Structure 1
Amino acid sequence: MRAFVLLAVAASSALMTNPVQAAPEPLKLAPTSKWHVDYADERCRLAREFGEGTSKTTLFLDKYGPGESFRMVVAGGPVKTDVAQADLAVRFGPTEQAQPLFFLNGNLGESSALVFGGEIRIAGPNPSEAAAIKAKRHGDPWIELAPIAPERYSAVRYLEFGKPLRKAVQLETGSLKSAFAALDKCVDDLVASWGVDIEKHKTLSRNATPTDNPGKWVVSSDYPIKMLQAGQPAFVDFRLSVGADGKPSGCKIQATTRPKEFDDAVCQSLMRRASFLPALDASGQPIASWWRSRVRFQLPG
C-alpha cells in the first residue's frame, strides 16, 4: 500500500430569477471561561470554553516556538461532522478574510474535535504572497509572510468555523491582543529552557536553514508498517536542536496525534537525513539554535 508523507462564474441574467436565500445565521457561542495559558514541556497552550450544555465548545491554540503561527484544535458538539478530512473555512472576524484550513476529524475525550493540520495565523497570505506560494517549487526557499500588525489582533471579535459544517459556529472571543501577549510570554520562557542564547537569537542575521528540501527527510518508506496496515494517519510536531556546525544534535517530539511508532519514525529519519546552514548571530558567527516543523503521515484517499 502506498502512503504519503507531507512536511504543513460568470453571472448570467434572465427575465425571471429564483430568489437567493440568505445564509443562515451562525451559532454564536459566548465565552463561559476566561482565557487560560498552560505551560507544558514542549508547548504553550491558550484555551477557552464557549457555550453551555450540548453547545459547549473548547478552543485550543498551541505554540511550539516563537512566531505568529499556531496550531488549533476545536472540540464540542457544534463542530461535529461526518467529514473525515477536508478544508474548512475559518475566519478571525470581522476584519480578516476566511481561510481554507485542512483538518482531520477526531475526538477529544468524549467530544468531537477538529484537528487542524497546518500552522495558522489570524490572517492568511495576502494576494502576492498567495501567488508566490502557489508558484513555489520543491526545494525553493520558504515564503516569508508579512508580519501581522498588533492592531489586527485587537480588532478580532470572533472566530468562525464554516463549511463543511452544517451550521457555521462563531466563538465570541473578543480582542485577542492580551490573550496572545500572554501566550507569547509563555513561549519566551519555553525557548529559554532549550539551552540556546536567547539574547543572541533576538538579533540573528540568519536562522538555522535547511540545506536541501525538508520534504525529503521523512519519506513514504518511513511510514510505520503496523500503522500503515491499520490505515492510521498522523500529525507529528518536532523540534530539532541544530549545532553551530549545522548538524542536528537532538530531536524532541512536541506533539503527536498517534502512537509512539510515528514519533520514533520521525526522529530516526530526521537525525539521519536533516542538514542545515547553522544560525548566525548579529556578527555572523555560527551559534547553536533549533528548527521546527510538522510531519503529516497520510494515506491515499
Structure 2
Amino acid sequence: MRALGLVLVAGSIGIAAPATADDDTVILEPSSYWSVDFGEEKCRLARAFGEGEDRHLLFIEQGGPKSSFGFMAIGPAFERFRRPDRIEIQFGGFEPMTDQMPMLGNTEGVGASLIFSNMNFRVRPETEGDAEEERRKAPLPRLDVEAANQIDSISVSYGKRNVVFNTGDLGEAVTVMNECALNFVEAWGLDRAAHETMSRLPRWTNEQAVVRRIKATYPLQALRRGESGIIRLRVTVEEDGSISDCILDKATIAESLDPPACREMRRAEFEPALDKGGNPMRSFYQTNIIYRVS
C-alpha cells in the first residue's frame, strides 16, 4: 500500500504582501514553505504567496513518474488573463513557454486559475542524441532537477501584464517530488528496481488512431455545458503488449465530463517495455487527455 504523507520543504519566506514594480508587474513573495503531498492518486507540490485578499497559490502535480508535470497558478492577479493563446510562462531565466495554452477557471476563495497540462521547466532540443543521453542517465523519467536548481522565480505574462512569483531555488522541492512520483511504481504492483534499470518504456504504436476516437467521444452533456477538462490516463502494459487495466484521474473537475477513454483504449496497441537485458517486462504508460471547448 502506498504511504501517504505531507512533507514540508525548507525555503525562505519573504514579505507576504505583493510588491508592484510598475503598473503592469506584480511581484509576489512566499508566505509558506513548499509542501509535497504524497497522495493516493497524485503528488502535489504547493506553496502560498501573499496573504488575505492578495493570496496566491502555485501547484505542480504528477500522477506518476514523468519528465513533465501539471502546473496551476491561482489568484486575483490573473483576473484579467482572459485569452489562453496570449498567456506565456517562464521558469527562471529559461526561454518563455509560448506554445502552452492553459485552461482558465476559478478557485473559490482564491481567485482566477490558470491550468497547464504538460509542462517542462525549459525547452530542450528534440534530437535523437539528446533523447538517448537522457535515457542513459535515467531510464525511468523524472523531473529535471538540474533545471530546477537554476530557477528562483516563475513569471506568468499576458500582454504587458506580468505576475512574478519569487519562488527561490526549486531544486530541493523537485527532488522530493520525484521521489513521491517514483513511489507510485511499487504502488501499482510493478517492479521499481527493474524500472530503474530498464532500457525502454512501452511504445504506443497506434496512438493517433485511438486518440482520434477518444476525441470523437467527447461527452455530449459536457459539450452542451461548454466544459473543458484535463484527464490523466494510465494503463498497465503487459509483457505481450496487452493492456490489463486503465485508470483515469480528473486533473481538473468538470461536472459532466466523464469520458469513455478507457473503453477506447481497448483498441490501443503497444510494444512492451524492455528490461536492461532487452527482454519484455510489465510496465505502465501515462498520457493526458485534454478536452477543450473552443
TM-score by length of 2: 0.81
Q: 2:170 aligns with which of 163, 170, 176?
A: 176
What residue is the counterpart of 2:61 in the other structure?
A: 62
1:197 positional shift? 0.8
Q: For 1:156-175, list aligned pairs within 5 A.
A: 156-164=151-159, 167-175=161-169
Alpha-carbon distance in structure 1 between the residues aligned to 2:83 and 2:104 = 5
Structure 2 contact 219–259 (Cα < 8 Å) conserved: no
Structure 2 contact 41–249 (Cα < 8 Å) conserved: yes
- C-alpha spacing 1:82/1:181, structure 2 compared with 1 (3 Å): closer
- C-alpha spacing 1:32/1:215, structure 2 compared with 1 (3 Å): farther
Alpha-carbon distance in structure 2 between the residues aligned to 1:91 and 1:145 = 26
1:31 positional shift? 0.5
Unaligned runs of at least 5 residues, structure 1: 1-21, 133-140
Alpha-carbon distance in structure 2 between the residues aligned to 1:222 and 1:53 = 42
Structure 1 contact 81–105 (Cα < 8 Å) conserved: no
In structure 1, give the amino acid aligned to 2:244: S
Structure 2 contact 240–272 (Cα < 8 Å) conserved: yes
Secondary structure of residue in 1 paired with 2:161: coil
1:214 positional shift? 4.0
Question: Greater relative contact order (Cα 8 A, min sep 6): structure 1 or 2?
Answer: 1
Q: 2:147 aligns with which of 152, 159, 176?
A: 152
| 1:206 equivalenced with 2:200 (yes/no) | yes
Unaligned runs of at least 5 residues, structure 2: 1-20, 135-142
Name the larger-Rg structure: 1
Secondary structure of residue in 2 paired with 1:219: helix
- C-alpha spacing 1:294/1:87, structure 2 compared with 1 (3 Å): farther
Q: For 1:72-111, list aligned pairs within 5 A.
A: 72-81=71-80, 83-93=82-92, 95-100=93-98, 101-110=100-109, 111=111
- C-alpha spacing 1:210/1:261, structure 2 compared with 1 (3 Å): farther
Q: For 1:231-250, list aligned pairs within 5 A.
A: 231-250=226-245
Alpha-carbon distance in structure 2 between the residues aligned to 1:260 and 1:278 = 35
Q: Cα RMSD (Å) of the superposition?
A: 2.5
Alpha-carbon distance in structure 2 between the residues aligned to 1:149 and 1:74 = 20
Q: 2:280 aligns with which of 276, 282, 286?
A: 286
Secondary structure of residue in 2 paired with 1:67: coil
- C-alpha spacing 1:236/1:215, structure 2 compared with 1 (3 Å): farther
What residue is the counterpart of 2:115 in the other structure?
A: 115
Q: Deviations over 1:220-254 (max 9, x none)?
A: 43111211222222211111111111111111113
1:276 positional shift? 0.4
Alpha-carbon distance in structure 2 between the residues aligned to 1:260 and 1:288 = 34
Alpha-carbon distance in structure 1 between the residues aligned to 2:238 and 2:192 = 15
- C-alpha spacing 1:105/1:122, structure 2 compared with 1 (3 Å): same
1:125 positional shift? 3.0
- C-alpha spacing 1:146/1:55, structure 2 compared with 1 (3 Å): farther
Alpha-carbon distance in structure 2 between the residues aligned to 1:267 and 1:261 = 17
Structure 1 contact 214–274 (Cα < 8 Å) conserved: no
What residue is the counterpart of 2:184 in the other structure?
A: 190
Secondary structure of residue in 2 paired with 1:178: helix
What residue is the counterpart of 2:18 in the other structure?
A: none
What residue is the counterpart of 2:210 in the other structure?
A: 216
1:146 positional shift? 7.0
